[in-house]
Structure 1
Amino acid sequence: MRIFVLVSLLLLSGCSSITAGVAARSDQPNLRIDSSSVAREVSIEQVQKRRVGDFLQGSAVLISRVSTDRYLQYKFTFFDSDGMVVEADSTSWRPLNLHGGERRPVTATSNSPYATDFEIYVRRATKE
């Protein structure tokens, strides 16, 4: 039984460290850090939103804080005025090779006219 518990804990901790990352919301000034190691490697700045017709467009600049390449994924999630997710599961993880010291702008546009805010989440690339 002890071995089962130990193996389960190792598997769970391994999974959480792979998918944890950093996030920024358009309606909040601070980054949310779910992984301090990812936060040491990449930062999110210049989080902005604007209307393009009836739809919300979000943008941010991803910044490499290390001197070597980082293979990452990012995802935008859009929210309505009540803070509820709109278009759940409509956006997928996008791959990104961020070179050492590079600053890369990224954007996404909501498919729903009800979106008022967004979150961008960045994590290390995983094999999905």
Structure 2
Amino acid sequence: MRPWTLIVVSALVLAGCTTTTSGLMARSNDTEVKVNNRNLGRDLSLSGLNRAMVGGRLQARAELTSKASGDLYLQYRFVFFDATGKALESATDGWQQLNLAGGERRQISALALTGEAVEFEVAVRRIVDE
């Protein structure tokens, strides 16, 4: 009985360490939005990725549109990359909260901390009540 307990506990620990974000993700150099959560993909549209230089630094923008009839409680984050593909620090490294009403459209943005950033990735996930 003991080996089974160890296996179950190990599986639970490994499941808690997953780095996959269940939601929507898009990269500025790709036209495709990756959907890791079909339910969120039905309720939310991620589009309008664009970039601009502001004071020598890359500003990333994306548009979120709710296709749901009720409120969506979301988190999003931007990750910036240099020319070699290395992830860079940004002013908003953590997840930012966002609430969208049914049918609401909102633009989100972030600014790279350095002028080294040339690409970005944006990820959006649903806030899960614990």
TM superposition score category, shorter chain reference? 0.7 to 0.9
Report the CA distance between 1:4 and its aligned residue. 6.1
Q: What percent identity do the matched residue pairs reach?
A: 39
In structure 2, distance between residues paired with 1:14 and 1:3? 17
Note closer, same or farther for the CA distance 1:96–1:86 as it changes in structure 2 (3 Å cut).
same
1:50 maps to 52
Alignment of 1:46-85 (within 5 A): 46-85=48-87
CA RMSD of aligned residues (A): 2.7
Give the gaps of 5 or more residues in structure 2: none
Alignment: residue pair count: 127
- Structure 1 stretches of 4+ moved >2 Å: 1-16
- Which residue identity does 2:58 align to in structure 1? L
In structure 1, distance between residues paired with 2:96 and 2:22? 15
Note closer, same or farther for the CA distance 1:8–1:64 as it changes in structure 2 (3 Å cut).
farther
Work out whether residues 19 and 124 of structure 1, in 8 Å CA contact, stay in contact via their aligned partners in 2: no
Work out whether residues 43 and 65 of structure 1, in 8 Å CA contact, stay in contact via their aligned partners in 2: yes
Query: Between Structure 1 and Structure 2, whose CA radius of gyration is higher?
Result: 2
Candidates 121, 125, 129, aligned match of 1:123: 125
Candidates 16, 36, 39, aligned match of 2:38: 36
Note closer, same or farther for the CA distance 1:2–1:122 as it changes in structure 2 (3 Å cut).
same
Work out whether residues 64 and 102 of structure 1, in 8 Å CA contact, stay in contact via their aligned partners in 2: yes
2:107 maps to 105
- Which residue identity does 1:32 align to in structure 2? K
Q: 1:13-60 CA deviation, whole Å, 9 max, x = no partner?
A: 6886x9411111111000011111221111111000010011000001
